[in-house]
Structure 1
Amino acid sequence: MFSQRSIRQSFLIQLIISSASLILIFSSFLYFYIEKSIYDEKKAELIGYAKNITDYKSVFQLDELDESIQENFLSLNVEVIYLQKEHPEAEVYEKSEHKRTYLTLIYPFNIHENSYLKMTKEITPTKKLLNKILNYIFIINIAGFILVIIYAVALSKMLVAPVKTLSSRLSNMNEHLMKPIIVEELPQEFEPLGETLNHLISRIQNFVKYQKELFIGTAHELKTPLAVIKLKNQVTLIKKRSPEEYIEALNTTNKTIDEMNIIVSNILNIGRQEGAQLDKPQEVNVIEVLKQKADDFKLLAENEGKKLEIDFKPNAFMATLQVSLLNQIIQNFLQNALKFTPKEKSVLLRSSQDDYGLLIEVIDEGCGIDESVDLFAPFKRQGNKSGVGLGLFLAKSAADALGAVISIKNRADGVEGTVASLQLNSKLSCIIPRN
């Protein structure tokens, strides 16, 4: 029923042991308190009789004469004894004879003569009463222990029930039928788990959606150049042509094959990226990574007649992540920004700290985008520039793997262009204090 790693088993054992210990301790204290109270009462009764005899030469005072006193007096045995040693204080002890229990009091009577009152009272009924109380407490303990076991089992089932419900719902899901978990139906303690699972389901849905689009888009992108190659070859083979014409046809075919190679290379990059997501995260200074990437692209921007500006704040920001994924995102942002930015214009790479973590932005002066189009889907292109349309798809996958948020939108400062941003979560990051 349980395994060695079962939380439910550990919970049951701990709850049963703690509850049993509590019941045992409480019952023991209760019994000892009852026993001490009864014995203290009997001891006080004997001392009262002894004081009456010492003070009034009588077991009880005349105004105390009633049926209960007379009944107690019948079981009382009083005698005077002489001891060699002085016992200035009263002494009480218990003894048993012939299945009967007696309580004996030695009380000073005449200290000068070393005489003492020895008062013996039978307490067999009291002892039987205490034994009955002990038996009842023992029975109550057993009943309470059984109830604790039943309660522990029921409570553990109740706590495990939401997990089983979640497991059942998740096991019945497939890539074609994935519904979010209704968090409101879960216990309050399981709401964070439900939200996390919903986030995971959303990511899986996006992954499946993009994978389908990737496969369909790949087939379409490869089918078109193959059809072009076949058509040109068929046209070339219709009649004899000059060597120059054959060379021109082969060059056209090679150009189309090069375009296909670009598509295949991008698809291979997707596979490499999925492998990079499994790399062990490293603690790196994100600002240093941005500086290195900026140095790489400054020369490229100058060769194209453009300018790359930088503005990094804070001075340093440590994060635990896969550096290759971060490089891929920043590289894609800069490539797109430089591609669509005209000559004599500039691209800004900047970082800033906010309440969420570190915000990295690449701002260009290009033609802008159509924000109604999902640019992160595979083979989505904008503008008149060449490209396969997999760059932002790869960047989005990398950002999801980093637990970061990626977005691309038009500039809102009145200048034409776009703002590509990456928001790193500060939960896995820390800021290095400035010097």
Structure 2
Amino acid sequence: MFGNKEQTERRRGDISLQADVVVAGHIAVDLIPALSDRAGGLTSLRPGQLVEAGGAAFSSGGCVANTGLALDRIGVPVRLIGCIGDDEFGELTLRAVRSANPDLVSGLQVVQGEISSYTIVLESPGIDRIFIHCPGVNHRFRSQHVSPEALRGARLFHFGYPPLMRSLFSDQGEEMALIMGEARRAGAMTSLDMAMPGSDEARRVDWPRWLQRVLPEVDLFLPSLDELRVMLPGLSGLPMEVAVREAAELLLDWGCAIVAIKLGDCGIYCRTAGGDRLQQVPHAFLSTAANWRLRELWAPCYQVDVIGTTGAGDCTIAGFIRGIVADLTLEETLQSATAVGACSVEAKDALGGLHSWEEIRGRIEEGWKRSDKGPEGEGWSWNSAIQIWQGRLDQANKKEVDE
């Protein structure tokens, strides 16, 4: 780990004693059939075509299950809030969560007469994933599903996938802003993850307007670059290095304190606000606030043999949240995020590759190598001591602090 080992151990102890994270929003059950590249796999699909599959992985899915259960597995106390229907898929969802930790099912609310959400994930070697998704009762999620009792004592409130939840994308962001605002007033830092708009209705949303309404209530915003390219048309066609910088500047201007953009196998880009915006974040940065101010970092992935990428972004977020509730520096937090995300892709489903934090930390301390994928072009400096890329803003800020 970075920094003083004794301090890090003390912070990690603080997680188990004090930290409390609530993860709310979209929950589903995932079915992931094993597809080979024989006979072309998915590329050979035609009407009337039969594609042979192997065994199927079955797991809970969506932000609530993926991020929430990942946090639980790496030692961060968590509560889950989500809605399921009173049907077979709802029973399967409950069974999957219960098998991970029976204490976590209490926050899942069964809505009578509604269907549960499910996703069929099609992965084949050499092509991107295909999702067949039914949002189900997630379309009905509203602020009343997040009770004041559920928020009591929470240090961080994380919400995921509003683009797959009609009640939260169809009103220009009013309901989403209400949920996040209530969490902040309850004393929790707020964190928001997105998803690719999956329906024609969701794709027609004025996402810039939606984000401008919601982001003032969001402290930590964690979209993927692919999602931002859909929601912010001005990013279309821009090189990755240019797109992340333009997006981050815009999103910070719209009100959030921290932007962390997921870049798939290219890692994660993070930019933070200046001024007093970080001081407005509840329950965060107890001793590391100065380290987080006005930063620009790009953390590459760790090298792994990729088995499946379902839920990798959600697990990366779990690692990021772990860093925050442990009061780690931004460098340490990005290390935690990329390490947890890397473990996730070592299994077919989101959680099968995850281990305890002690095991993950052991891999890091043994010299776990980073990927060589990173930013191209001018304005980036590789810091070999912390294995991270520093952007122009970060270099200028460090020079100002040193002086």
TM over 0.5: no
More helix by percentage: 1
Higher Rg: 1
- The higher-RCO structure (CA 8 Å, 6+ apart) is 2
Given the two structures, how large is their TM-score scaled by the length of structure 2? 0.21
